Chain A
Amino acid sequence: MKLVQGNEAAVMGALAGGLDFYAGYPITPATEIMEQLSRILPSRGGVFIQMEDELAALGAVIGAAWGGMRAMTATSGPGFSLMQEHIGYAAMTQTPCVVIDSQRIGPSTGQPTMPAQGDVMQARWGSHGDRAALVLTASSVKDVFDMTRQAFIWAQDYRLPVIVLLDAVLSHMRENVELPPVPGPMTRQNAQIPENQPPFGSHPFQPFSDSTRTIVSGLSHDEDGMTQGSIGHQAEQIIRNQMADLDRDYSQIVQYRRYQLDDAKWAIVAYGITARAARAAVHLLRESGIRVGLLELMTLWPFPEKTVQEMAHVVHGLLIPELNLGQIVLPLKAAVCGLTPVFFMGRADGELFQPEEIAERIVRLDQKDVGVSTLIGRD
């Protein structure tokens, strides 16, 4: 058992996922990730580079991945905005890499030390064009470790830039947790490449080697990386196939926690640090006899539509608290399809929701609901 900080858990999770290359530009509240890796990586034969800015940081990460390394960068909102061009480039070039974004209040410089959940839509749609997206989040120090480690596995499996969303509180929060020891540097051998295996499309990622010649370009290309000719439909097909891979593996990828939902009349949907307040609110409400449960989202994209829909059939309503002015509520409403009312509470002032605030909102909904039910003679 150790007292571990969220950012430290991200470092340990990344090393457990095989990280051996980090390029970044320091920014609060993600700086500790970079600071620790600047000491750890060189001492175990890895590479650490402080770049001139965030554009260059993700550029270096993408290059390192093609050089055969497991690569990551970490940033916060302002840096994440700068990285959007290269997130698109990583998607177009099917480059496995991990980007951690510890969210703080924005837009722009905002409040560097205060938490937010304002980057969740940017994580999905920030880069231009269409792409398959994997975006994970966490609500505890243990989660940060697990999700960062998982991000490396999925980056490799699906050949995507995988994004892990933290926030200023979680990054700086310390909890006592049991984490597995950090493994030693991994020696990786390049898998045998079947002859003439195309470098792109639905094929395992193969970094540059002596025996291959690969053109990596952000231009639309076919499976061989060729950019000439009429290849629009082939490029589209590569993206469609990546999306189909995520659809195929939906049930393994989509992760969530159901908490006291079995008999729930009301469901709270929350993610990240806000899920902690929501869980405490469930305790408070259950003590006063209100049947409420929590669906904690751990993968934001792909969005857990099926789980939400199943839940929407049985509850009287959903409440989603977010540290933004209305983002995940949009895909939530789309998934609910009008089956049950969706209520939203948001704030973007750098403070967390307190459990009592969430509980009060549910109490008000419940009182109103009981009133209406009495009027129309429903249970």
Chain B
Amino acid sequence: MPNQFSSPDPLGIRLSGRGGQGIILGGVIIAQAAMYDGLFVVHTQSYGPEARLGSSKSEVVVSHFEISFPEVVNADVFLCLSREAYLKYHRHVSTSAVSIIDDLIATEDSLPNEIFLPLRRTARSLNNEMTANIVGIGALIALAHAAQPVSVEKAIREWVKPQFLDVNLMALEAGLSLIHHKSVRG
């Protein structure tokens, strides 16, 4: 699975979950990292009026060329951290998409391309479930090569508050390792 994904241009990435899970920050970090890689990026965000909970969605378009339409229609890369977001978005993906789904989400109608990974469980083992977004990004860049790991690390250093920097860098490492060292439930 890890080597089967060839990145289209433009590449549409969609992150989704509940408000408070760092979905928008996650998108900003991917966009910033892809920018460090020298690509054009557009990041958009969509959330409800609540400060926490409700559904949250963040999209990044990455391209070698100037980007016309800023939103993602069918995602090429999909990351999902909550059941509500899963039900809402998991079918809106392209035919060759990579979908990374947190394995605590109960699903009845999963699609063949969906990869279930212990994103929140890994984050909990780091004593900070809030870092599940970064664990997911680690897995995402290992599978879909949306940005260089070194660029993602640089972006995390720029966007994450200093007191949470170390745990987020550990989360990135853990996310990368989920793909590089472990077999996955597919």
Binding site for B on A (CB under 8 A): 1, 3, 28, 111-114, 169, 172-176, 273, 276-277, 279-280, 283, 352, 354-356
| Contact partners of A112 in chain B: CB under 8 A | 49
CA of A124 to CA of B48, assembled, Å: 30
Give the residue of B31, B43, B73 whose beta carbon is less than 8 angstroms from that of A354.
B73
Closest A residue to B68 using CB positions: A280
Closest B residue to A350 using CB positions: B46
A301 to chain B, nearest CB (A): 25
| B148 contacts partner chain A, Cβ-Cβ < 8 Å | no
Q: Contacts A1-B35, A3-B32, A112-B49 hold; do A174 and B42 have CB atoms under 8 A apart? A: yes
CA of A355 to CA of B67, assembled, Å: 12
Are A113 and B46 neighbours in the complex by a CB distance under 8 Å? yes
Closest A residue to B42 using CB positions: A175
Are A3 and B69 neighbours in the complex by a CB distance under 8 Å? no
20 contacts between A and B (CB under 8 A): A1-B35, A3-B31, A111-B49, A112-B49, A114-B46, A172-B45, A173-B43, A173-B44, A175-B40, A273-B70, A276-B68, A277-B69, A279-B68, A280-B69, A352-B71, A354-B69, A354-B71, A354-B73, A355-B68, A356-B73
Closest B residue to A352 using CB positions: B71
Are B69 and A176 neighbours in the complex by a CB distance under 8 Å? no
CA of A174 to CA of B28, assembled, Å: 8
| Contact partners of A356 in chain B: CB under 8 A | 73
Closest B residue to A168 using CB positions: B46
Are A169 and B68 neighbours in the complex by a CB distance under 8 Å? no
Are B68 and A3 neighbours in the complex by a CB distance under 8 Å? no
| B178 contacts partner chain A, Cβ-Cβ < 8 Å | no
CA of A3 to CA of B31, assembled, Å: 8
Residues of chain B at interface, number, CB under 8 A: 20
| B47 contacts partner chain A, Cβ-Cβ < 8 Å | yes
Are A3 and B49 neighbours in the complex by a CB distance under 8 Å? no
| Contact partners of A280 in chain B: CB under 8 A | 68-69
Are B49 and A28 neighbours in the complex by a CB distance under 8 Å? yes
B92 to chain A, nearest CB (A): 11
| B140 contacts partner chain A, Cβ-Cβ < 8 Å | no
Closest A residue to B50 using CB positions: A113
B159 to chain A, nearest CB (A): 9
| Contact partners of A273 in chain B: CB under 8 A | 70
| Contact partners of B73 in chain A: CB under 8 A | 354, 356
Taking A169-B70, A175-B43, A279-B69 as known contacts, 9 extra A-B pairs with beta carbons closer than 8 A to each other, sorted by chain A number, are: A112-B49, A172-B45, A174-B43, A175-B40, A276-B68, A276-B69, A277-B68, A280-B68, A354-B71
| Contact partners of B40 in chain A: CB under 8 A | 175-176
CA of A169 to CA of B46, assembled, Å: 8
CA of A279 to CA of B65, assembled, Å: 14
CA of A273 to CA of B45, assembled, Å: 14
| B97 contacts partner chain A, Cβ-Cβ < 8 Å | no
CA of A277 to CA of B42, assembled, Å: 14
CA of A199 to CA of B32, assembled, Å: 50
Are A3 and B43 neighbours in the complex by a CB distance under 8 Å? yes
B56 to chain A, nearest CB (A): 10
Are A283 and B31 neighbours in the complex by a CB distance under 8 Å? no
Closest B residue to A109 using CB positions: B49
| B23 contacts partner chain A, Cβ-Cβ < 8 Å | no
CA of A356 to CA of B71, assembled, Å: 12
Q: Contacts A3-B28, A112-B49 hold; do A173 and B68 have CB atoms under 8 A apart? A: no
As a 0/1 sequence over residues 3 to 21 of chain B, the CB contacts with chain A under 8 angstroms (1 = contact) are 0000000000000000000
Are A283 and B68 neighbours in the complex by a CB distance under 8 Å? yes
Can you list the 6 inter-chain pairs with the closest CB atoms, starting with the nearest? A280-B68, A280-B69, A174-B43, A279-B68, A176-B35, A3-B32
Closest B residue to A28 using CB positions: B49
B74 to chain A, nearest CB (A): 10
Are A113 and B68 neighbours in the complex by a CB distance under 8 Å? no
| B41 contacts partner chain A, Cβ-Cβ < 8 Å | yes
| Contact partners of A113 in chain B: CB under 8 A | 46-49
As a 0/1 sequence over residues 26 to 59 of chain B, the CB contacts with chain A under 8 angstroms (1 = contact) are 0010011001000011111111110000000000
A32 to chain B, nearest CB (A): 12
CA of A114 to CA of B57, assembled, Å: 12
| Contact partners of B69 in chain A: CB under 8 A | 276-277, 279-280, 354-355
CA of A150 to CA of B28, assembled, Å: 28
CA of A277 to CA of B43, assembled, Å: 15
CA of A1 to CA of B71, assembled, Å: 21
Closest A residue to B33 using CB positions: A3
CA of A3 to CA of B29, assembled, Å: 10
CA of A276 to CA of B73, assembled, Å: 14
| Contact partners of A354 in chain B: CB under 8 A | 69, 71, 73
